[in-house]
Amino acid sequence: MSRHVIDVSLYLVLDPDLCGGLDGMVETARLAAQHGATVVQLRAPNWKKRQWLTCAQQLKTVLAPLNVPLIINDHVDVALAVDADGVHVGQSDLPVQVVRALLGPNKIVGLSTNNLGNVTELLSPEIAASIDYIGVGPVYPTTTKKDASPVLSHDEMAAMFASCTARGVPAVAIGGIKLGTAAPLMAAGANGVAVISAICGQSDVPQACRDLLREIKPAQ
Ligand SMILES: Cc1ncc(COP(=O)(O)OP(=O)(O)O)c(N)n1
Ligand SMILES: Cc1ncsc1CCOP(=O)(O)O
Ligand SMILES: [Mg+2]
């Protein structure tokens, strides 16, 4: 299977509390996608499956015409049910080879990693063949994910980005990224940044996206 090309430069992860529920999530996704977000992930750790399905259907309707991929956090069944573009899993979720087998070759599979040993192991040929990108973090302290791992040191994250680059796997940084902290991550070797609170719940979502993009892609 050849790796899917995915632009992870500004990767929005949705949060129901910060967005004010399902309608707020769909509206946040729409605004962000119209103003430069390159990927949107549905993440709602406390939701029942029926809410996931309803929200995923609405997100797909909004995002597909904008050509922004919809990624489902953790739940392969929801992704299959709405024909989403892919699934993101972490170390306690279904193994990526299982996710790939369930989704087939044409979908995007993303994987989280939070230490260098982990990256080396995860980028073994078998696993690397199943994934399209890696989420590296938390790179800064975050209050959004209650069970987040310890924050990575600058050197460790830079080594992780380098390891991903050497294997041709795009790496997106995640965790506590705000305006002013995206540029150093790009300089350290990330291919993009994934954010929740820097966009969700912001009073001006288009402006938040534009400001982040200026840091991520300063030449444009
Ligand atoms: C882009 C991206 N990177 C990392 C994560 C975290 O995934 P995981 O460790 O599985 O934790 P939960 O999000 O499932 O709580 C992510 N969601 N997205
Ligand atoms: C889902 C996730 N995975 C690692 S940190 C994190 C939360 C990121 O949220 P924020 O951008 O608000 O810190
Ligand atoms: Mg997970």
Determine the atom of ligand 1 nearest the C-alpha atom of 135. 3
Determine the atom of ligand 2 nearest the C-alpha atom of 18. 12
Does residue 86 sit within a domain? yes
Q: Residues enclosing ligand 1, CB less than 6 A?
A: 11, 13, 41, 43, 45, 73-74, 88-90, 93, 110, 112, 135, 145, 172, 174, 194
Residue 25, pLDDT score: 98
Residue 56, pLDDT score: 98
Residue 1, pLDDT score: 66
Please choose, from the candidates 117, 106, 97, the residue with its C-alpha nearest in 3D space to the C-alpha of residue 79.
Answer: 106
**Contact between residue 53 and residue 78 where contact means Cβ atoms under 8 Å apart:** yes
**Contact between residue 89 and residue 105 where contact means Cβ atoms under 8 Å apart:** no
Percent residues over pLDDT 70 in the chain? 98
Count: domains in the chain: 1
- Residue 54 annotated as lining a ligand binding site: no
Instruction: For residue 111, give the ligand nearest its CA.
Output: 1
Ligand 2 within 6 A of CB of 195: yes
Q: Residue 49 catalytic?
A: no
pLDDT in tens, 168-194: 899 999 999 999 999 999 999 999 999
Does residue 81 sit within a domain? yes
Determine the atom of ligand 2 nearest the C-alpha atom of 145. 7
Task: For residue 20, give its domain range.
Answer: 10-216
- Residue 74 annotated as lining a ligand binding site: yes
Residue 176, pLDDT score: 97
The structure tokens listed for 200 are 């969700």
Does residue 152 sit within a domain? yes
pLDDT in tens, 7-42: 999 999 999 999 999 999 999 999 999 999 999 999
Residue 51, pLDDT score: 98
Look at ligand 2, atom 5, and give the residue with the nearest C-alpha.
175
Does residue 2 sit within a domain? no
ipTM score over 0.85, yes or no: yes
Rounded-to-integer distance, Cα 121 and Cα 124, Å: 5
Span of 39-43, 116-120, 141-145 with lowest mean pLDDT: 116-120
Does residue 5 sit within a domain? no
- Residue 174 β-bridge partners: 194
CATH of the domain at 61: 3.20.20.70
End-to-end CA distance of the chain: 33
Does residue 57 sit within a domain? yes
Mean pLDDT of the chain: 94
Rounded-to-integer distance, Cα 128 and Cα 84, Å: 21
Q: What is the rounded average pLDDT of the residues 99-126?
A: 87
Q: What is the rounded average pLDDT of the residues 64-72?
A: 98
- Residue 28 annotated as lining a ligand binding site: no
Rounded-to-integer distance, Cα 193 and Cα 185, Å: 8
Q: Residue 43 catalytic?
A: yes
104: buried, middle or exposed (CB in 10 Å: 19+, 13-18, 0-12)?
A: exposed
Look at ligand 1, atom 1, and give the residue with the nearest C-alpha.
135
Residue 125, pLDDT score: 78
Does residue 35 sit within a domain? yes
The structure tokens listed for 28 are 């946040």
- Residue 72 annotated as lining a ligand binding site: no
Q: Is the peptide bond preceding residue 141 cis, with omega within 30 degrees of 0?
A: no
Does residue 1 sit within a domain? no
**Contact between residue 107 and residue 72 where contact means Cβ atoms under 8 Å apart:** no
Ligand 2 within 6 A of CB of 64: no
**Contact between residue 161 and residue 171 where contact means Cβ atoms under 8 Å apart:** yes
With a cut of 80, say whether residue 153 has pLDDT above it.
yes
Residue 219, pLDDT score: 63
Q: Is the peptide bond preceding residue 138 cis, with omega within 30 degrees of 0?
A: yes
Q: What is the rounded average pLDDT of the residues 124-153?
A: 92
Query: Which residues, 6+ apart, have CB-to-CB distance to 62 below 8 Å?
Result: 26, 29, 30, 33
Q: What is the rounded average pLDDT of the residues 101-128?
A: 86
pTM of the model: 0.97
Rounded-to-integer distance, Cα 50 and Cα 161, Å: 36
Give 127's pLDDT tier (boundaries 50, 70, 90).
confident
